[in-house]
Amino acid sequence: MINQLITKIKETGAPIVVGLDPMLKFVPEHITKRAYAELGETLEGAGEAVWQYNKTIVDNIYDVVPAVKPQIAMYEQFGIPGLAAFKKTVDYCKQKGLVVIGDIKRGDIGSTSEAYAVGHLGKVTVGSKSYYGFDEDFATVNPYLGSDGVKPFIKVCKEEKKGLFILVKTSNPSSGEFQDRLVKAQAAVDGQDVSQGDALDRPLYEIVGEQVARWGEEHMGDSYSYIGAVVGATYPEMGKILRKIMPKNYILVPGYGAQGGKGKDLVHFFNEDGLGAIVNSSRGIIAAYQQEKYAFFGPEHFGEASREAVLDMRKDIADALNSR
Amino acid sequence: MINQLITKIKETGAPIVVGLDPMLKFVPEHITKRAYAELGETLEGAGEAVWQYNKTIVDNIYDVVPAVKPQIAMYEQFGIPGLAAFKKTVDYCKQKGLVVIGDIKRGDIGSTSEAYAVGHLGKVTVGSKSYYGFDEDFATVNPYLGSDGVKPFIKVCKEEKKGLFILVKTSNPSSGEFQDRLVKAQAAVDGQDVSQGDALDRPLYEIVGEQVARWGEEHMGDSYSYIGAVVGATYPEMGKILRKIMPKNYILVPGYGAQGGKGKDLVHFFNEDGLGAIVNSSRGIIAAYQQEKYAFFGPEHFGEASREAVLDMRKDIADALNSR
């Protein structure tokens, strides 16, 4: 799947993933109105509105981006009907040829991570049959529980030719609270000679990054690993270091646009081959029609606004990469 | 809700939560057979089997334990029909008077954590109406993203009088890989005098525990905070330290039984008042009939085996607490 993702990135010239994170305040009134008329102001109505909204966006962007990243929380908030809209969205995107990254940030002890892995990337066995639950192509994973929380995901990815993006340094303002903590060099902990001293102490995200790099090397596609990492666009200096620590891991970069990241912040996330990173934008694309710049499209033509925003983002990134 | 949980712990004399983590291999054949006959060997059939299995267990234990903890992954693996069984289980347990801890281990950037919080503990707005999505009483939360990933959960708990258990030190074998990393003392990082030296360096789980303690103090029920912590029974020495760091936080202790924790390992998780901890057992209770000790009940009477296992666990913990 990582090979397929890279092929599609090359074809579209867009190292871009569109975050399908549909808050109801983004959904144009003509869509909510129709959904509520049919199903009422209910969880079912909300699910239908979100699905119709997604469908129009996907119809307008599927040929210019390689991938989408639905954030499952935005669906889960509407309970079962919301998750049904998530599943519908995943299926539709795959049908349109898009690579689907399930932004689920799951992670648990071994046997539990196995259940998540099976449910989102693999097949679950029921009696003599087996079924895909949600069937995304990639999933994001939280590493706080350590290797035995991550390995069941890797195992399923290997079997199913799918992939992961493991959280290393997230894009949010307080991500440093634990992720940036300076970890004592293992040599010092072990009581070895540490004459090089503090040079060996490193922030936790680098330690996690090194582990992701090791997993990456063991699980390679053609040129990159199918085990990737998440590193926020909002921390470009850290991105630069992590790029070097994880040369073979694709980096999923959230935080572009609405969260503050710009094209020029992104160049260090890419390798010399122009590959190695895929940049996410969510509300900057899906709610483009609500921005002054794209307001002339009007709410009725929100899908076209999203397409225009993708093309602008593609240019912003290409310009930044060309002038580095 | 923390007050209600403590009242129920006192009433039942059981600081126990039963993990409703129904793997299909635990479900007796007469239940799967009936479910598959009705709905086929499908995801729907699996959901039905899991629900019927849970219902019988709950019917046999609801008067002797204060709480249950369904692990959402075990349902999510069956896609939408599995999650429908999760919701049915949550609703039924609440109807039987049990406190429901949703073991969801969610955690994301601010706006996304807000959606999870709303979906699992609070109400989501749809037009002029609002609805509970999953409506658990407590949820487990992953802190890797820092404060702004946790605060939206706390906000909803405050509004809804619900609660959290935040992962501090998990029960799995590799939990130390990142959680035990020795973090350099902040004073040293800031370049202050650190004549006390390494005494100030502490493992990451203590740093997280201190943050959980601060959140706890700010969000109190009558005697304990509604912001709790997860600390694995498999690490009793760390539990002893964390108990002191977080005196007002309830500690949810997984890892008893199948994962290796025993009654005597648990005493240090409790405060002098005999409160402050609630111990989880999952397969040790729900699949008790598969153990040699309870095999005489037979698969047909698996619910009674679960009840017996609860009573034995209650005694094991009480004996350990009485002899400390």
pLDDT digit string, tens, across residues B43-70:
999 999 999 999 999 999 999 999 999 9
Please check whether residue A227 is in contact with residue A168, taking contact to mean a CB–CB distance below 8 angstroms: no
Residue A179 tokens, joined: 């992720």
Q: Which residues of B are catalytic?
A: 105
Burial of B312 (0-12, 13-18, 19+ CB in 10 A): middle
Residue B324, pLDDT > 90, answer no
DSSP class of B283: H
Q: What is the pLDDT of residue A257?
A: 79
**Residue-wise burial string across B127-163, b where 16 or more C-beta atoms lie within 10 A, e elsewhere:** beeebbbbbbbbbbbbbbbbbbbbbbbbbbbeebebb
Is B182 a domain residue? no
Please check whether residue B256 is in contact with residue B313, taking contact to mean a CB–CB distance below 8 angstroms: yes
User: Smallest Cβ distance to A78: which of B24, B111, B124?
Assistant: B124
Q: What is the pLDDT of residue A47?
A: 98
Is B90 a domain residue? yes
The span from the first CA to the last CA of chain A, in angstroms, equals 29
Q: What is the pLDDT along chain A (324 residues), one digit of tens a residue?
A: 999 999 999 999 999 999 999 999 999 999 999 999 999 999 999 999 999 999 999 999 999 999 999 999 999 999 999 999 999 999 999 999 999 999 999 999 999 999 999 999 999 999 999 999 999 999 999 999 999 999 999 999 999 999 999 999 999 999 999 999 999 876 666 555 555 444 578 999 999 999 999 999 999 999 999 999 999 999 999 999 999 999 999 999 998 876 676 788 899 999 999 999 999 999 999 999 999 999 999 999 999 999 999 999 999 999 999 988
Is B304 a domain residue? yes
Please check whether residue B318 is in contact with residue B69, taking contact to mean a CB–CB distance below 8 angstroms: no
Cα gap B34→B46, rounded to integer Å: 11
Owning domain of residue B108:
2-176+219-322
Cα gap A274→A224, rounded to integer Å: 13
pLDDT digit string, tens, across residues B142-178:
999 999 999 999 999 999 999 999 999 999 999 999 9
Say whether A115 and B76 touch across the interface (CB within 8 A). yes
CATH for A135: 3.20.20.70
Say whether B113 and A73 touch across the interface (CB within 8 A). yes
Q: What is the pLDDT of residue A262?
A: 79
Q: What is the pLDDT of residue A197?
A: 47
Q: Which residues contact A7 (CB under 8 A, 6 or more apart)?
A: none
Is B197 a domain residue? no
Is B193 a domain residue? no
Catalytic (active site) residue A248: no
Q: How many domains does chain A have?
A: 1
Query: Predicted confidence band at B187 (pLDDT cuts at 50, 70, 90)?
Result: low
Backbone angles phi, psi at B68, to 5 degrees: -125, 160
Backbone angles phi, psi at B10, to 5 degrees: -65, -45
| For testing contact with chain A, the best of B38, B39, B42, B108 (most A CBs within 10 A) | B108
CA neighbours closer than 13 Å in the CB half-sphere of residue B148: 12
Cα gap B127→A48, rounded to integer Å: 13
3-state SS of chain A? CHHHHHHHHHHHCCCEEECCCCCHHHCCHHHHHHHHHHHCCCHHHHHHHHHHHHHHHHHHHCCCCCEECCECHHHHCCHHHHHHHHHHHHHHHHHCCCEEEEEEEECCCHHHHHHHHHHHCCEEEECCEEEECCCCCEEEECCCCCHHHHHHHHHHHHHHCCEEEEEEECCCHHHHHHHCCEECCHHHHCCCCCCCHHHHCEEHHHHHHHHHHHHHHHCECCCCEEEEEEECCCCHHHHHHHHHHCCCEEEEECCEHHHCECHHHHHHHCCCCCCCEEEEECHHHHCHHHCHHHHHHCHHHHHHHHHHHHHHHHHHHHHHHHCC
Q: How many of the other CB atoms lie within 10 Å of CB of A196?
A: 10
- Report strand pairing: A138-141 vs A163-169: parallel
pLDDT > 90 in chain B, percent: 90
Cα gap A88→A93, rounded to integer Å: 9
Across residues B135-144, what is the average pLDDT?
Answer: 97
Q: What is the pLDDT of residue A192?
A: 58
Backbone angles phi, psi at B235, to 5 degrees: -125, 65
| For testing contact with chain A, the best of B178, B204, B205 (most A CBs within 10 A) | B178
Cα gap B206→B201, rounded to integer Å: 10
Residue B40, pLDDT > 90, answer yes
Across residues B284-289, what is the average pLDDT?
Answer: 97
C-alpha dihedral sign at B296, B297, B300, B303: negative
Residue B193, pLDDT > 70, answer no
CB < 8 Å to B23, chain A: 111, 115
Q: Which stretch of DSSP H or E encloses residue B152?
A: helix B147-160
Helix/strand/coil for B165: strand
pLDDT digit string, tens, across residues B83-126:
999 999 999 999 999 999 999 999 999 999 999 999 999 999 99
CB < 8 Å to A173, chain B: 148
Q: What is the pLDDT of residue A251?
A: 98
Residue A166 tokens, joined: 């493991």
CB < 8 Å to B170, chain A: 109, 144-145, 149
Angle between helices A79-95 and B79-95 (to 10 degrees): 170
Q: Of B281, B193, B272, B82, nearest to A83 (Cα)?
A: B82
